[in-house]
Amino acid sequence: MYFNKDIIGYLSGTQFTAGLKIEIAEKEYKIPDRLSLIEELASNKRIIHMGCCDHLPLIEQKIKENKWLHSRLCAVSSRCLGVDINKDGIEYIRSNLGFQDVLYADLANDNVCEVSSEQWDYMIMGEILEHVDNPTGLLQSLFNKYSGSIERIIITVPNAFALLNFRHVFSHKEFINSDHRYWFTPYTLAKIATVAHYKVDHFQFCEPFPLRQKWSNSFTRFLLKRFPAFRETLLMVIHV
């Protein structure tokens, strides 16, 4: 999905309205999952995988289930450099899992020469922005340090419109990862990216993984195809 050019002024702040309505989705015949979409974009590309480690106790099980993003990216990209601030995690995947092209580094606060000295097609930021206190500041810092080296960033975040959220509203509850600071919509994610000097390429709603069996009833599938904004994850590609 692409934004209409008419909203660029609102994203940049040169125009304002308290009642903006924008198109964010249209009916689809497939229900894509986050891993497959990122994998498709990364195919034969040079990529940086920011936050590559994941949760250590879960990695090996995810590999068995083909759900560990870093291993899938390494399999399809021409090069995948994994970077994480988790020193123990980097050592673990290097020593125990054999992934050598990884770095312990803080991309936002350090100028990592292994990144800035080369050219990359994508940086992958999967499920990161909702965990940081200042997502705009993080994107701005990455822009300042690597805009000459990285062509595009792929971002995935929790979708504020997810069907699961509405289901819990009916029982007067909120269901959330306790470390999350934010929910995102296409406009709010595009807004912080624009403030950080990026331009939005395109965005898409997807599921985190192929639909689980308990969610595979025909009515749910109908809703997720007919109204993609009910899906759990928002994927957006931005560029300098």
Question: Domain 5-16+24-239: which CATH class?
Answer: alpha beta
Q: How does pLDDT run across 130-172, given as a tens digit for each residue?
A: 999 999 999 999 999 999 999 999 999 999 999 999 999 999 9
Q: How does pLDDT run across 162-201, given as a tens digit for each residue?
A: 999 999 999 999 999 999 999 999 999 999 999 999 999 9
Q: How does pLDDT run across 11-33, given as a tens digit for each residue?
A: 999 999 999 999 999 999 999 99
Helix, coil or strand: residue 238: strand
Domain boundaries, the chain: 5-16+24-239
- Given CA atoms 75, 79, 84, 90 in this order, what sign does their dihedral have? positive
